[in-house]
Chains A and B, each alone.
Chain A
Amino acid sequence: MKSIIYVEPSEGKVDPNVKKIVARLRKIPAERRGLIKGITLSHNFKNREEELRELFDELVAVEVPEEYLYNTEVMANLLTDLLEADSPALLFLVFSHLGMELAPTAGMRLGVPTVTGCTDFNIEDGTAEVRRLVYGSKLTISLSVDISRGGVFSIQRGSLKETGAAGTAGAVREASLSALPWDKKWAARKSKVLGLVAEEGGIPEQEDITKAPLLVSVGRGVGGPDNIPLIRTLTDCLKGTLSCSRPVVDNNWLPHHHQVGTSGKTVSPTIYLALGISGQGNHVAGMDTSRIIIAVNKDPGAPIFKIAHYGVVDDLFQIVPELIKQTEVGS
């Protein structure tokens, strides 16, 4: 049995979560997880072969025509085809948009157990022991998966803490690289991608949340659009940049380019000040590498406090005016 990882690009690089999955697998004895094989699209990783070859025992780079690069039907076709050739195998993906779509599709086509959004996993004899979040990340559930015929697992971003993806210190690994030419049988039959959608109007430089050292970020707790000016005032006082979680964008309280999380941008500022953000997995995946996270939330059980460095249990409408007042007095 092999452990196969679909290598997804992330802002032009190998997704760091892919490296963490590899690192976790390397901790498991080879007789249980087998060789570690990477599958990628050659287009995504031109000039990054060396980095990839150090990660895996085997590496397959598939040539995909330009027109299919964003077509998930094609990804599903080729991935299930390649998995069948290695069956029984374990497939690991990142729980990204692509992984959310591909994991259940591949699992159902292959008829093998599928667990999505895993936060931890281990492979034992004939089973995989996995853990995943449920109920708005407030609880976890542990599962025992029969992998005798293979399995598909998507891994929640930011959940594995391993570093050193190459595995054993000092080990020199250079995967055999197979370039796999395009096969027409993978072509899309039910979908056609017309192209990427450009963000209307572009993003003002001062609102680029990916480059800001201080993000003042609001969530559903801000209550409504009438309260956004208060947060803007605080952001200006602190000379920060305004960002938000998904519900704020869904309700049109702020434009999409402010959004942090799997549907928005991944950010890594010096300080992330989270105001009224509960800390669901999809948001946390986009900001958990921030150097310092300060969370203000009136719910002491909010999941954001699990990842924050500093926490304030209070109503943001008590704290924000006070921050503004003290900043103005101090300036």
Chain B
Amino acid sequence: MRVAVCCKAVATDVTADSVSVVDGDLRCNVGELYINEFDEYALEAAMALKKTYSAETFAVTVGSLRSQEALYMALAKGIDNVARINGDTSHPELVAGALISFLKEIGPQIILVGVQSEDWMGSEVGPYIAEGLGASLGFAVVEITELNDSQVRVKKEIGGGDKTDVILTLPAVLCVQSGIHQLQYVSALRRRKVRDLPVKMWGKLEDIALPDNIKGIMNYRMKEVAAPEGESQAVMIPGDKSEKAKAILEILKKNLSAG
């Protein structure tokens, strides 16, 4: 049983000044990158499958050298193999296209993807990969309950607080919701140690031949990035903590008694 995790390194502390559109793509000049939180949960799910089913685990990312942070976290958690596809893009279609090529080569039965990235916030990569591989798709998976050579059984959110119990044929792409497992603490020493391990560079984004449907879905042009329009509509409550609390209680009293 092979399990692959697609993970991404993201910048979280950004401002309108640190992100811009350059040559039709987003460029972020924030120095430090962190593993996308949803992907960290996907790594935990992979580790659970490794422990329960002795699965061989892979983690892969698409990005520049500094995106290897995501892979170091994977190694520190205990993932067996890591690979990076070199290239810097925020286009989810290009990322998915590159991942599809890699995944075709290693042939995992389970592909885990965080349900969303904290930077692009689009939730497309998992469904694109499933479609590109002809795999089944489980979106917003909160529990993997059974796994055998041909099927996986999962619980997945369908919105409104509801969940369904679903059986998927393998190979399956599971878009993992946060909270699927508790995030395990990884010590700073462990994270430092794994930085000495080699990270395989699988290929370059620009060398990967994209299928026609990937080219079709990215037929758009990024124009500009800005802070969201419109200033805060909130009436900001000034004062010290006592005055602020008093003002909040007055709003509550006035509006709750008015019914």
Interface positions of A (Cβ within 8 A of B):
10-11, 70, 72-73, 96-98, 100-101, 103-105, 107-117, 132-146, 149, 189-197, 199, 213-214, 238, 246-247, 249-252, 256-257, 259, 262-266, 270-271, 273, 281, 291-292, 294-296, 303, 305-314, 318-319, 322-323, 325-327, 330
Contact = CB atoms under 8 A, between A and B. Distances in A.
23 contacts: A101-B127, A104-B217, A108-B127, A108-B214, A109-B213, A113-B219, A134-B19, A134-B120, A138-B15, A138-B227, A139-B14, A141-B224, A191-B136, A191-B166, A195-B165, A257-B161, A273-B252, A281-B121, A306-B228, A309-B235, A310-B248, A311-B232, A323-B249
A143 B244 contact: no
> Main secondary structure on chain A at its contact with chain B?
mixed
Contacts of B246: 326
A117 B136 contact: no
Interface of B: 11-12, 14-16, 19, 21, 26, 41, 115, 118-124, 127-128, 130-132, 135-140, 153, 155, 157-169, 172, 175, 177-179, 182, 212-230, 232-237, 241-242, 244-249, 251-252, 255-256, 259
B221 A143 contact: yes
Contacts of B233: 306-309
Contacts of A265: 160-161
Given A308-B232, A323-B248, A135 B19 contact: yes
B119 A303 contact: no
Contacts of B132: 108
B120 A111 contact: no
Contacts of B217: 104, 107-108, 111-114
Contact of A310 (B137, B159, B161, B237): B237
> Main secondary structure on chain B at its contact with chain A?
mixed
B161 A100 contact: no
A230 B219 CA distance: 51
